Amino acid sequence: MILIRSLLLSVWIALSVLIVGTLGVPYVLAFRLGGAHVMTVWARVAAFGARWICGIKFEVRGIENMPNGPVMIASKHQSMFDTIAPILFTRFPVYVLKQELLSLPIFGWYCRKAGLIAVDRSGHMSALRAMVAHAKERFEEGRPLIIFPEGTRQPIGLPPKYKPGVAAIYMLLGVPCVPMALNSGVAWPAKGILRYGGTVVFEFLPMIPPGLKREIFMELLESKIETATQALVDEFHGQGLVRKVAKETSV
The DSSP bridge pattern shows strands 145-147 and 117-119 to be unpaired
Look at residue 181 in the predicted model and tell me its pLDDT: 98
Along the 251 residues of the chain, how does pLDDT read in single tens digits?
899 999 999 999 999 999 999 999 999 998 888 999 999 999 999 999 999 999 999 999 999 999 999 999 999 999 999 999 999 999 999 999 888 888 888 999 999 999 999 877 665 677 788 888 999 999 999 999 999 999 899 999 899 999 988 999 999 999 999 999 999 999 999 999 999 999 999 999 999 999 999 999 999 999 999 999 999 999 998 875 434 423 433 33
| 107-140 pLDDT per residue, tens | 999 999 999 998 776 656 777 888 889 999 999 9
| 200-237 pLDDT per residue, tens | 999 999 999 999 999 999 999 999 999 999 999 999 98
Contacts of 118 (CB under 8 A, 6+ apart): 96, 97, 98, 99, 101, 102, 111
The DSSP bridge pattern shows strands 198-204 and 56-61 to be parallel
Q: If DSSP codes are grouped into helix, strand and coil, which group holds residue 204?
A: strand
Question: Which of 224, 225, 115, 130 lies closest to 168 in space, CA to CA?
Answer: 130
Burial string for 29-43 (b: 16+ CB within 10 Å, else e) reads: eeeebbbbbbbbbbb
Separation between Cα atoms, residue 186 and residue 200, nearest integer Å: 8
For every residue of 36-70, which 3-state class applies, written as one string? HHHHHHHHHHHHHHHHHHHCEEEEEECHHHCCCCC
Look at residue 131 in the predicted model and tell me its pLDDT: 86
Name the DSSP letter for residue 150. Answer: T
Separation between Cα atoms, residue 209 and residue 220, nearest integer Å: 11
pTM check: above 0.75: yes
Amino acid at 67: P
How does DSSP assign 173-201, residue by residue? HTS-EEEEEE-HHHHS-SSSS----EEEE
